[in-house]
């Protein structure tokens, strides 16, 4: 019997554990260790943040789901990995600390044959002074609790506008190196939509504040898309969404501080500026969860498993090289640790070799460049191929040195539907596909991507599709009939 431990129950981990259990059945054990009580469909938190969905609509409890599937659920967080074993045993294990199930604070060693580290991002509000809903004054939509709080705060802002006050609304990126520009862009469009449909847009001064070099970079160096028969840069496509709504934008901005009234940022030109706000949603920097790693003799080998930002080292080419020499081949194909080959890191948990966007540094030495996105679709696909590879090794169809299923972000496409306002008759979304996610300049010398598969289309149909996808992905995540037939 093989024992597979999956750390995390987000898009990557949940996908991996569901397929592993389906394919391996009762003969093998699948254990999920996660501090989460609920699965949440993170993309729909945008709609929670504007009051169009309740947290209950975007989440479900994991315990029942895993019980039904025969997956062991440990409501705990992983603390350390011991890939060589320890205490006289060669068997690798992880140390976990319970946060629920009546065992709060208790630690346990969980041994494994295969480890899937799908711990996603830790939200690092602490990297920007004054940022975030807990110790700061800005809101977030990164999880359902934050999004629900954001909606509460947005209602206060709306009430003030209804009472005749003008309000400054700033939405965007709260750190010079943060990613998730797509989510911030979606949120600003949805906030505008809610304000506009209440007839209050004259009272709202809305600004998109971002570390992107150009609007529409989306942390993937922007793209050229086929749109209405023309080849259009995402800069024009995205700016037109903002301009049509009279939303102003500030680009190339690295936010370093927030207080109760203002957001402070440095520009790529090296100037220090500030912008006042009444309501602000700014995405924080991300890091790994801060797991430690130890060798069999107890020596600290954290730097052998993780980059300093806490993301896991995998089969990527991490050799430092200038932007001009970056290649599609730098990106990992099987998200497998190069030494401890029974450890995998799908989704946001793996350390990217470098950014996708061209990096820029201000004259003051501040790097202002978005970290690479690992969005839902690639995270799900990576979770699935990790499950396929582990299954094949267990069934003797592959070895850890010769894995067959691959999911390089430089060889896979992604579809993303950017909601621009909720509503079955007056809603709107931009449906975008890019192929590949990371540009391949060798294969596509002109635009870095295939124009056949890199497209964008705004319209009401996009909203219906996004709405449908919310239910489809929750159906899949809940393990409802034929869930495995639905795409990642
Ligand atoms: C507001 C918002 C909107 C978005 N919209 C879209 C969209 O429209 N389309 C799209 O493709 N992508 C979207 N994304 C991105 C998408 O949500 C992420 O790409 C995806 O969630 C990443 O999956 P993941 O499994 O790597 O991480 P997560 O989904 O964050 O899961 C990480 C898991 O690890 C667990 N964990 C954390 N620490 C530990 C620990 N120490 N031990 C064990 N477990 C741990 C967490 O509890 C969680 O269960 C959006 C993101 C945000 C924030």
What's the mean per-residue pLDDT of the chain? 96
Total residues found in the chain within this entry: 488
In a domain, 141, yes or no: no
Ligand 1, atom 4, lies closest to the CA of 43
pLDDT classification of 295: cutoffs 50, 70, 90: very high
Give the pLDDT band of residue 227 (cuts 50, 70, 90).
confident
- Tell whether 189 is covered by a domain: no
List Cβ neighbours of 353 (8 Å cut-off, separation of 6 or more).
316, 317, 318, 326, 330, 331, 332
Sign of dihedral through CA atoms 484, 314, 86, 292? negative
Q: Of all protein residues, whose CA lies closest to atom 38 belonging to ligand 1?
A: 119
Q: Is residue 205 domain-resident?
A: no
Contact 188, 208 (CB under 8 A): yes
CATH for 390 = 3.50.50.100
Two structure tokens written together for 360:
């820029």
Question: Does residue 314 belong to any structural domain of this protein?
Answer: yes
421 found inside a domain: no
Q: Provide the H-helix boundaries in 170-281.
A: 181-197, 234-244
Atom 31, ligand 1: which residue's CA is nearest?
A: 10
DSSP 337-396: -SSSTTEE--GGGBPPSS-SSPP-B-TTS-B--PPPP--HHHHHHHHHHHHHHHHHHHTT
Query: Residue 456: its pLDDT value, please?
Result: 86
Structural domains counted in the chain: 1
Q: Provide, rounded to the nearest whole percent, the portion of the chain with pLDDT above 90.
A: 94
Closest CA relative to residue 392, chosen from 380, 404, 375: 404
Cβ atoms of residues 36 and 454 within 8 Å:
no
Looking at the CA of residue 96, tell me the nearest atom of ligand 1: 42
Q: Give residue 366's pLDDT band: very low, low, confident or very high (50, 70, 90).
A: very high
How far away, in angstroms, is 10 Cα from ligand 1 center?
5
For residue 472, the model assigns a pLDDT of: 96
Determine if residue 274 is left, alpha or beta; phi over 0 gives left, psi from -120 to 50 gives alpha, anything else beta: beta
Torsion of CA 190, 191, 197, 201, to 10 degrees: -130
Print the domain residue range for 329.
3-123+286-365+372-394
Closest ligand 1 atom to Cα of 419: 8
Q: Locate the DSSP E strands across 52-141.
A: 59-61, 72-82, 93-98, 107-111, 114-117, 122-124
Report pLDDT digits (tens) over 17-43. Answer: 999 999 999 999 999 999 999 999 999
Q: Please check the confidence at residue 379 and state whether its pLDDT lies above 80.
A: yes
Distance 146 CA to ligand 1 centre (A): 14
Find the mean pLDDT for residues 326-335.
98
Within-domain flag for 24: yes
Farthest CA pair distance, the chain = 71
User: What's the 87 CA to ligand 1 centre distance in angstroms?
Assistant: 34
Which residue puts its alpha carbon closest to atom 7 of ligand 1? 43
From 46, 183, 310, 314, give the residue whose CB has the most ligand 1 atoms within 8 Å, as the site to mutate.
Answer: 183
Report CA-CA distances (Å) from 23 to 28, 235, 389, 486: 10, 43, 11, 16
Ligand 1 first shell, C-beta below 6 A: 7-13, 33-36, 42-43, 45-46, 77-78, 118-121, 141-142, 180, 183, 289, 347-349, 374-377, 379, 416
- The minimum-distance atom of ligand 1 relative to the CA of 142 is 53
Residue pLDDT, tens place only, 66-98: 999 999 999 999 999 999 999 889 999 999 999
Closest C-alpha to ligand 1, atom 46: 8
* 348 Cα nearest atom in ligand 1: 26
pLDDT per residue over 105-164, tens digit each? 999 999 999 999 999 999 999 999 999 999 999 999 999 999 999 999 999 999 999 999
Q: Taking Cα atoms as reference points, which of 414, 447, 453 lies closest to residue 222? A: 447
Burial of 202 by CB count in 10 Å (0-12 exposed, 13-18 middle, 19+ buried)? Answer: exposed
Question: Is the per-residue pLDDT at 234 higher than 90?
Answer: yes
Ligand 1: residue of 49, 123, 174, 376 to mutate (most ligand atoms within 8 A of CB) is 376
Cα distances from 453 to residues 165, 327, 381, in angstroms, run 46, 20, 18
| 156 found inside a domain | no
Does residue 303 lie within any of the structural domains? yes
How far is ligand 1, taken at its centre, from the CA of residue 11, in Å? 6
- Specify whether the CB–CB gap between 434 and 218 falls below 8 A: no
């Amino acid at each position: 019997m093989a024992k597979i431990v999956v750390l995390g129950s987000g898009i990557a981990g949940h996908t991996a554990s569901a397929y592993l259990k389906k394919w391996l059945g009762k003969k093998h054990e699948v254990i999920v260790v996660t501090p989460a009580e609920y699965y949440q469909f993170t993309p729909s938190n945008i709609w929670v943040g504007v009051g169009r969905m309740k947290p209950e609509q975007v989440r479900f409890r994991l315990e029942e789901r895993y019980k039904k599937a025969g997956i062991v659920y440990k409501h705990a967080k992983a603390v350390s990995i011991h890939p060589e074993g320890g205490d006289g045993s060669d068997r690798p294990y992880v140390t976990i600390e319970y946060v629920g199930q009546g065992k709060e604070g208790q630690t346990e060693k969980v041994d494994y044959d295969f480890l899937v580290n799908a711990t996603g991002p830790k939200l690092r509000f602490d990297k920007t002074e004054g940022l975030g809903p807990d110790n700061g004054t800005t809101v977030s939509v990164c999880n359902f609790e934050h999004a629900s709080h954001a909606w509460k705060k947005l209602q206060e802002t709306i009430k003030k506008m209804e009472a005749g006050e003008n309000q400054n609304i700033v939405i965007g990126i709260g750190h010079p190196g943060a990613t998730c520009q797509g989510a911030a862009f979606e949120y600003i469009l949805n906030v505008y939509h809610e304000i506009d449909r209440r007839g209050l847009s004259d009272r709202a001064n809305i600004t998109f504040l971002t570390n992107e070099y150009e609007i529409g970079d989306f942390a993937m160096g922007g793209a050229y898309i086929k749109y209405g028969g023309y080849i259009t840069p995402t800069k024009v496509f995205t700016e037109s969404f903002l301009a049509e709504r009279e939303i102003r934008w500030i680009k190339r901005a690295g936010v370093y501080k927030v207080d109760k009234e203002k957001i402070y940022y440095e520009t790529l030109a090296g100037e220090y500026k500030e912008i006042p706000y009444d309501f602000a949603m700014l995405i924080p920097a991300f890091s790994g969860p801060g797991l430690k790693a130890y060798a069999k003799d107890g020596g600290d080998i954290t730097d052998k498993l993780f980059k300093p930002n806490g993301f896991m080292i995998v089969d990527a080419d991490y050799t430092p090289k200038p932007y001009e020499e970056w290649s599609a081949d730098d990106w990992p194909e099987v998200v497998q640790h190069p030494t401890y080959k029974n450890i995998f890191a799908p989704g946001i948990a793996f350390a990217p070799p470098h950014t996708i966007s061209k990096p820029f540094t201000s004259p003051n030495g501040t790097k202002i460049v978005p970290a690479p996105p690992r969005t839902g679709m690639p995270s799900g696909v990576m979770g699935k191929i990790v499950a396929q590879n582990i299954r094949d090794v267990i069934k003797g169809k592959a070895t850890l040195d010769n894995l067959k299923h691959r999911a390089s972000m430089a060889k896979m496409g992604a579809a993303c539907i950017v909601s621009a306002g909720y509503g079955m008759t007056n809603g709107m979304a931009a449906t975008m596909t890019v192929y590949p996610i990371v540009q391949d300049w060798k294969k596509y010398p002109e635009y870095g991507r295939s124009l056949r598969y890199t497209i964008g289309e705004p319209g009401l149909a996009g909203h219906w599709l996004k709405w449908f996808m919310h239910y489809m992905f929750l159906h899949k995540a809940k393990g409802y009939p034929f869930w495995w037939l639905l795409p990642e």
